[in-house]
Structure 1
Amino acid sequence: MGFTDEVGIDLGTANVLVYIKGKGVVLNEPSVVAINRDTNEILAVGEEARQMLGRTPSNIIAVRPLRDGVISDYDVTERMLKYFIRKTCGNSRFFKPRIMVCVPSGVTEVEKRAVREAATQAGGKAVFLMEEPVAAAIGAGLDISKPDGVMIIDIGGGTTDVAVISLGGIVTSTSVKVAGDKFDEAIIKYMRKEHKLYIGERTAEEMKITIGTAYPREEMVVKECRGRDLVTGLPKSIEITSKEMMEALDEPLQVICEVAHGVLERTPPELSADISNSGIVITGGGALLHGIDKRIEERTGITVRIAEDPKSCVAIGTGKALNSIDAIENNQMNKRRSYI
């Protein structure tokens, strides 16, 4: 694979997407790494490692180095990034690309520094950070340079970012650590409480994707769920309906709806008028949950639409921002000079 000098990375809690200028999204793999505990050697990264979740012998662990949108295991994140950069950009020791990485809107300076350092150690010549809602809005095809207000809800794996954007910047925003992972946790909790059945993360995610719903479906869907009976300790299989899934997911969905409502309350009136005309756009993997647009629409009273290819919006937006990377680099250098 030929070398490229500009790379956009959506460093997500659930998935890592890599965008290469001129080629588009070239990689979309789970943020999972399988490590041999005895030798500290990486055995698998991405989809291959995800298959190992909950199924490994004692000397092998499958870890997710990002939690709630931020780095929880710095060393593993760095090694994972290095692997993905080499896989997509080629394996030259002398070649170092300029990297644009997306971070949730609410991250602290310490968390930003951790992302910057991990990307630099993984082989970046210069690393720039971009806020996820801005990247998501660009990736969804919204023109954020105008003085009109646009509202974006980016529901990822670890965080949900809600932001109102105007003139290329965030006017008001909130980031909460309630997203895809919390949906899975809510399903696991529900199954334990209501059915005395213990299921793993992968089973919960599968149920969320196939029968999960945020709003009553026209036709009820049923799926067989396998797990361990908490009473007998033996494997057990039961049928679960989409109605039960709606009940299980109610709490995290309520949080997301309230956050969206709260951001609208803090939005200047002129921009609120723009949003009521243009509507709200949902991006991120969470946008694929059945009926989530109707649920948010019901709470806010504003038309909600799901972006085209919502999972890739942040990566595509990051990639489009690479076109102005020179301007960003000059701007950062000028800022540094003004501090000296």
Structure 2
Amino acid sequence: MPYKKRIGLKLGTVNTLVFRENNDILVHEPSIIAYNIQTNSILGVGEVARDIIGRTPPGVIPIQPLQDGVIADLDMTLNLVTYFLEKVKLSKIYKNEIVICMPAGLNSVERSELMRLISSISRANTYLVHESVATAYGSELEFSMHKGAMVADLGGGKSSCTMVSCGDIVAESSIKVAGKQIDAAIRKYFKYQYRLVIGELTSEILKIKHASVANNFKNYPVTVRGRDLVTGLPKAITFERAELQLAIAATVDKIIDVIKSTFALISPDLVYEVMMDGLILTGGTAQLNGLAQRVEQELCCPVQVANNPISNLVKGVFVASRELDLGGIKHAL
């Protein structure tokens, strides 16, 4: 009997994961490629690309093959996935099965293209499991084939909210607004308010360490450094933490609105289940300070934040794939 191995793959706008069924993370690297447009060559992928971007001569650009959870550049996605699968030596293992986490919002053509792409470079049997279903199975909620769960996946390039019931997707809503757009809102605020240009890494650090959408939070001064928009020289300013809440308010409202819109698509009985059992928030943006409390207040239902969304996803992918083996998950193929 040929050796069979099941591998999980999550292609994200920000990061790509390759993992095994025993919760072993084989790859967790940025979904980015450093590309030299002068020589038409790839200088680095993943962590290597992240480390050299901005430190190379002109002509080297960062390419993110996935934008807002969707494949934007097919050839570069092929290079990205090939690199990561070769890194785990998948191509040398006979009779592989790859379970792909499918983000919300993909149409049937995009799903078929994704499966064809992975199959062509891995020579493995390929299955699709909806990312929200995997998160539901991997969460601490009492989720089963006969019980519903609502999952809001707030990632880097897209926020989606999905209602899962009886092993199928009942309703889903998504918007191309998430962590990257919050970072951009912070950069825009400092550009127009202080004539200060800050980098992507700086805005992300400000978001993670200091931004909050809670009603009550401790205000304190924060110093940030960047480039003066007028003189072009280095510049440091001190601002109040509360200004970050002002900077990101409109963007966060859009994310919460997509969760609200999903309730309008489901039956009163499912609304009751969510109000009793709670809503699952997952993804990096779900960790934004005060966001869970804000969602609870606006939706009047309990909210559970996935403390370790990667671990939940990895666990849930293989639980869901076992259900797939039993014919339980109708949407997975």
TM-score by length of structure 2 reads: 0.90
Aligned CA-pair RMSD: 2.5
Shift of 1:122: 2.8
Counterpart code for 1:7: I
Q: Which whole-Å CA distance do the structure 1 matches of 2:330 and 2:228 have between them?
A: 59
* Count of residue pairs brought into register by the alignment: 330
Structure 1 counterpart of 2:155: 156
Counterpart code for 1:267: I
Structure 2 counterpart of 1:247: 246
Q: Where do 1:37-116 residues align within 5 Å? A: 37-90=37-90, 92=92, 95=94, 97-116=96-115
Deviations 1:314-340 (A, max 9, x none): 3432233333454469989xx9xxxxx
Conserved 8 A contact 2:91-2:122: no
SS in 2 for 1:158: coil
Deviations 1:2-49 (A, max 9, x none): x96211111110111112123433321111111233343332222232
Shift of 1:249: 1.2
Q: Which whole-Å CA distance do the structure 2 matches of 1:246 and 1:122 have between them?
A: 45
Q: Provide closer, same or farther for how the CA distance between residues 199 and 253 of structure 1 changes in structure 2, counting only shifts above 3 A.
A: same
Q: Where do 1:139-178 residues align within 5 Å? A: 139-178=138-177
List runs of 5+ in structure 2 lacking aligned partners.
none
SS in 1 for 2:44: strand
Counterpart code for 1:5: K
Bigger Cα displacement from structure 2, 304-313 vs 269-278 = 304-313
Structure 1 counterpart of 2:320: 321
SS in 1 for 2:58: coil
SS in 1 for 2:212: coil
Q: Equivalent pairs: percent with the same residue?
A: 35
Q: Where do 1:298-309 residues align within 5 Å? A: 298-309=297-308
Conserved 8 A contact 1:132-1:161: no
SS in 2 for 1:249: helix
Q: Where do 1:1-340 residues align within 5 Å? A: 5-90=5-90, 92=92, 95=94, 97-216=96-215, 218-324=217-323, 326-327=325-326
Counterpart code for 1:153: A
Shift of 1:176: 1.2
TM-score by length of structure 1 reads: 0.88
Conserved 8 A contact 1:183-1:252: yes
Q: Which whole-Å CA distance do the structure 1 matches of 2:235 and 2:69 have between them?
A: 34
SS in 2 for 1:305: strand
Q: Which whole-Å CA distance do the structure 2 matches of 1:235 and 1:151 have between them?
A: 46
SS in 2 for 1:313: helix
Conserved 8 A contact 1:140-1:283: no
Q: Which whole-Å CA distance do the structure 2 matches of 1:292 and 1:218 have between them?
A: 12
Q: Which whole-Å CA distance do the structure 2 matches of 1:329 and 1:168 have between them?
A: 7
SS in 1 for 2:34: strand
Shift of 1:217: 5.0
Counterpart code for 1:20: R
Shift of 1:153: 0.8
